[in-house]
Structure 1
Amino acid sequence: MMKLLIVILIFFSLTLYSNPYIERVIYEFEADTAQKIELHLHPLPDWYNLLNDSVITFTGKGVIDTSLWLWDTNFVIIDNSVITGEFYLPQDTGFIKIYLAQGLTDSISYPNEDVPSPKPNFSVSKWYHDFGIDGILEDWYIDSTPTFGFENDDYKGCKISGYVYSNDTPVNEAKVIATAVIYSNFPPFYSNCTTFTSTDGFYLFDSLLPTNFWIKVEKEGFYPDSFLTNRLHSLNPITVNFNLLTGIEDDKISFKNFKVYPNPFFFQLNIILDKNLLPPYIRIYDISGRLIKEWKKETLKENLIWEGKDENGEMVSSGIYFIHIGEKKVKVTKL
């Protein structure tokens, strides 16, 4: 078995933003007879009085006519009792736009792949956590017990399941590893976990963080396989099936002399290989799993240079990228 190596590349944009935290201030909302919005964010850079700020919904513009203070530990409820003008949240489809002081805004529309429509007597709530250097994760979900005025506490995390086969035969006791593209843990949700398939080849991960995951399958006597998911959502469990090929495992083969530098880098990434042990390919993926660049074995050489361009010669945008050669992961940063 030829081991694979995955190198994680993080591209940082040089654009500076002011007041970045305020962009995620909408925290929960309910339609039907409740008709209310909850605002909350942590950490918030300042205290804000929402008096005379605007809220735009399906029927038009409303103005907050009550002194309501928003800071990093409280929850502000917006409903018709504090609004002059229009305010209405339809059950099936709608939007919310909040215009706060100093030109700061937040907005959502529903339904879309991130935000569902609220059910009668249920709210739509947001799970949110700032992981610092690993970024911010958030995920909207249906809350059967609305918690306006309190922290949202019913989030269940995300699920991945599937089957492992070989020539249409279930593979029992295959090792399945789920590894998030971020490295932070936030109990009770997982960023790294391992399970084994049942007799029918089935596996299941739950309580996962809402981010992208590498799913890898390995079993003695078979070549390993792996897959990079899109970002997970609790309301949309995904299925990832595998069909393993039989092969002879050889743990002695590795790419210990594989090097990537400089780290961090601006314009050019150097990839140094062992000329006596070239892999079958090198592939670079973006965070969605889309193939960006590929070198096949016949084009590989000891020294490679990636200038941050895709197969069409177009410069890729800032973000997280992966060099896929195997199962190890090395994080590097492009400034």
Structure 2
Amino acid sequence: MFSSKKRLDNAYKNAKVVAFDDTSKFILFSDCHRGDNSFADDFANNRNIYFHALKHYYAKGFQYFEIGDGDELWENLSFEPIFEAHRNVYMLLQQFHKENSLHLIWGNHDMVYRNPEYVKKHLTTYFDKKLGIDVDLFPGIEYHEGIILKNSITNQEVFLTHGHQADTWNYLFWKWSRFMVRVLWKPLNVMGIADPTSPAKNYSELIKVERRTKKWIIENNNLVTVVGHTHRPRFPEPGDIAFFNDGSCVHPRSITGIEIENGQISLIKWLIDTNNDGVLQIVRILLEGPRKLIAYKTNS
């Protein structure tokens, strides 16, 4: 498990399989980094955009895939203060879960979720202060390292994983990174100083992570792969290396994600804009696509 290849191989081998066809509708977000609504909570700036987008997708019957680092559990000691800060988000995610439309992958910042007992203890219920009792939140919820979307007609596969498997430091030494973030980088982050160990804020590390991931994709017959982790959106043309990245939900004043609908894949952005009357509104913008997924299929 010490090479990025072996780590990605293992994530693929143990991935949950979700069948889909041209009627399926999926929205993929990652790197929300939901925090406690303090000055260090990068998600707080975009929470209204994210919540509005999520309501849109729920109303349209989409299934929600969160590809890692949904909760910021490096800066925060536990899930409870995050839940209290963004309760409306979790109540909406609960609706997806009730309809079996919530699919979760753990990343390096919420790597504690790879322990099913931790997930069961912290995410099954929450304490309702009005009722004075524990009530259901996500009963039976499971986190995965990878998910394979498999087309039930063409057998084409789309592999989803966070992407930190190609980042040795943040995969193997995540506990040390978590410690450093809590004691050093969180207070410095409030002052505007970025963590240099994060590939999202260190361009040379970002390039290394992307290069290793692309190498693995090529070695696996150009398997369509969607990751997060680096926060840099990627959308290839058919015929290129099938390396997609949905970006993040902590871009300055916007969030990005990937939609799969009608057998097509698109890169989208949600942001706050003004209409002709100067009224602020949240809008969806198509950045890339749509492209037919089958155009990326290679013969195995």
TM-score normalised by L of structure 1: 0.24
TM-score normalised by L of structure 2: 0.26
In terms of fraction of residues, the more helix-rich structure is 2
Question: Who wins on radius of gyration, i.e. which is larger?
Answer: 1
In terms of fraction of residues, the more strand-rich structure is 1
